[in-house]
Amino acid sequence: MHEPVKILVVGANGQVGYELLRALAGSAIPLNPPSQAKGEGSDAAIGRKEEEFKTPFGTKGVAAQQRGDARERYEAIPLNPPSQAKGEGSDAPIGRKEEEFKTPFGTKGVAAQQRGDALARCKVIPATRDGWLENGAECERIDLADLAGLNAALDRITPDVIVNAAAYTAVDRAEDEPDLALRVNGDALGVIGAWAARHGARVVHYSTDYVFDGHATRAYREDDAPCPVSVYGRSKRAGEVTLQESGARHLIFRTAWVYAARGKNFLRTMLRLGAERDELRVVDDQIGAPTPARLIAKTTVTVLRQWLDDAGPARDGVYHLVAGGRTSWCGFARAIFDRADIPLDPPSPAKGEAGHAVSLPPTTGNAGHPVSHPPATGNASHPLPQEGGRAQRGGMPPHAPRIVAIRTADYPTRAARPAWSVLDTGKLRTTFGVALPAWETCLDEVIGDLAH
Ligand SMILES: NC(=O)c1ccc[n+]([C@@H]2O[C@H](COP(=O)([O-])OP(=O)(O)OC[C@H]3O[C@@H](n4cnc5c(N)ncnc54)[C@H](OP(=O)(O)O)[C@@H]3O)[C@@H](O)[C@H]2O)c1
């Protein structure tokens, strides 16, 4: 009997990390896994409850409803067998290239007879910064800022595959914490890469459109010269280079404009602000493709299933992984509210509530997309246009807010952002046979998640 392949997922509470656990385990991932540590009992009750989240699509509705009441030990989850995994394509319009199976993990001795067997015999080991999953289950603790601790954790866990979904993603704050951003996004990849190279393990890592300056006139390809314009972008680029130079077998997925039905992201911010304001002013001159974390996770699993079978590094390297098409943040905002079952026209001021302009700038937030903040007060570094907005009506807007296009220049932020974040995903398609769906299709799916 061969040992199962151990897949360590670092950053399991992030948008992508969370979806990765689900994609790797299929729907079998227990939000309240059976406890090994039941004896810990009620005094170990957790209190991490996400606030009730109301949206124009209904009272929502993140995965929080099912969260546990007690901290329980996370069990490593066996992955879907290939037969189950086949069904994955039905809810993820991801194409798969059928091709010859290659010998997997020779020295690891996973004697797969067909493609997918290596992955089917895996155990998934989640890790978070504080050692707890969002559902209250205990898991491995890995803080990427603690490089010695990271190395010790790898020695203890001895993973065969390290999927790093963790990152310092506060784009604006990084301008003030460059050392920390570089340690987490850059140096930590050196530790992971060196450990993997020493032990014959493989690394899957995520990077960003922010490695580019955004001045291109066509979609960026993987071999276009990076030229980050922010601390965050430079730190992520440093991670790419460090990993590439480590000698470890690796895949780096550059993604962009990540959102999900949970977590901190543009979609959730829009819905929250939409419930509070008559008018939202949204940047219209930054172009990219909104990409659901779930699409990234499912694509990762699809690719992993093939890549683990590769005996050599021919398909190692950088791949762009974003949804198809492009839009602006403003276009994305309009598309979000278009999908709400509510009229788009705001009420006239005569009806009682004057609509005040509320700027929706790309400010701080995670991973390089404009995660907006409701402007509470004007602030010297982020001058806001007139603000105000209607009173909240139990969190539910009777109508969608009016979306007003503004320019990046109208709302300066601490960190510069690329104006053009369009990534060419042709390499992923030709190398792994993955065809990525249009961003609008993806949005329909995520909105569907919110509504149900
Ligand atoms: N979000 C985007 O728009 C976007 C765009 C392009 C690329 N990316 C890349 O995609 C990947 C996943 O992003 P995401 O959107 O899933 O990010 P996210 O939702 O912000 O999650 C990041 C995770 O990293 C964890 N983390 C932060 N610092 C850490 C540390 N020192 N040690 C261990 N864990 C730490 C966070 O843990 P806590 O929960 O404890 O804070 C969080 O769970 C990242 O590599 C990111 O750079 C994201």
Is residue 232 among the annotated active site residues? yes
Q: Is 288 near ligand 1, meaning CB less than 6 Å away?
A: no
Give the pair of three-digit tokens for residue 111. Answer: 């004697």
Mean pLDDT of the chain: 76
CA–CA distances in Å: residue 69 to residues 72, 73, 74, 136, 263 = 9, 13, 14, 7, 20
- Give the dihedral sign, CA 79/83/88/89: positive
359-360 and 402-406 beta bridge pairing = unpaired
**What is the distance between the alpha carbons of residues 413 and 313, in angstroms, rounded to a whole number?**
41
> pLDDT of 433-447, one tens digit each?
999 999 999 999 999
Residues 6+ apart with CB under 8 A from 100: none
The answer as to whether 267 is a domain residue is no
Which of 250, 241, 140, 126 lies closest to 190, judged by CA?
A: 241
**209 in any annotated domain:** yes
Q: Is the pLDDT of residue 152 over 80?
A: yes
Residues forming beta bridges with residue 125, ordered by sequence position: 8
Asked whether 332 lines ligand 1 (CB < 6 A), one says no
Question: From ligand 1's centre to the CA of 366, what distance in Å?
Answer: 7
- CATH code (residue 10): 3.40.50.720
pLDDT digits (tens, 9 = 90+) for 301-355: 999 999 999 999 999 999 999 999 999 999 999 999 998 754 444 333 332 222 2
Q: What is the DSSP letter of 244?
A: H
Contact 64/102 with Cβ under 8 angstroms? no
pLDDT in tens, 77-114: 444 433 333 333 332 222 223 332 222 333 333 333 34
Task: Please indicate, yes or no, if residue 316 is contained in any of the structural domains.
Answer: yes
Catalytic entry in 232, 259, 319, 411 = 232
Question: What confidence tier does 1 reach under pLDDT thresholds 50, 70, 90?
Answer: low
Q: Is 407 within a domain?
A: no
Tally the domains of the chain.
1
Q: For 161-165, what is the mean pLDDT?
A: 98
Supply the DSSP symbol for 414.
Answer: S
pLDDT at 71: 42
The verdict on the CB of residue 144 being under 6 Å from ligand 1 is yes
Q: Where are the beta strands (DSSP E) in 105-198?
A: 122-128, 137-138, 140-141, 161-164
Best residue for ligand 1 mutational test, from 9, 10, 15 (most atoms within 8 Å of Cβ): 15
User: Which segment, 42-56, 62-76, 138-152, is predicted with the most confidence on average?
Assistant: 138-152
User: Is 228 inside any structural domain?
Assistant: yes
The answer, yes or no, to whether residue 422 has pLDDT greater than 50, is yes
pTM score of the predicted model: 0.79
Query: Quick one: what percent of the chain has pLDDT higher than 70?
Result: 66
Instruction: Name the residue range of residue 206's domain.
Output: 5-262+290-325+420-451
Nearest CA owner, ligand 1 atom 5: 256
- Say if 349 falls within a structural domain: no
- Please check the confidence at residue 34 and state whether its pLDDT lies above 70: no
Contact 273 CB / ligand 1 (< 6 Å): no
Q: Is residue 376 included in any domain, yes or no?
A: no
Task: Judge if the beta carbon of residue 232 lies within 6 A of ligand 1.
Answer: no
| Contacts of residue 348, Cβ cutoff 8 Å, sequence gap at least 6 | none
Kindly give the distance from the C-alpha atom of residue 294 to the centroid of ligand 1, in angstroms, as a whole number: 14
Q: Is residue 68 part of a domain?
A: yes
Average pLDDT of the residues in 373-398: 33
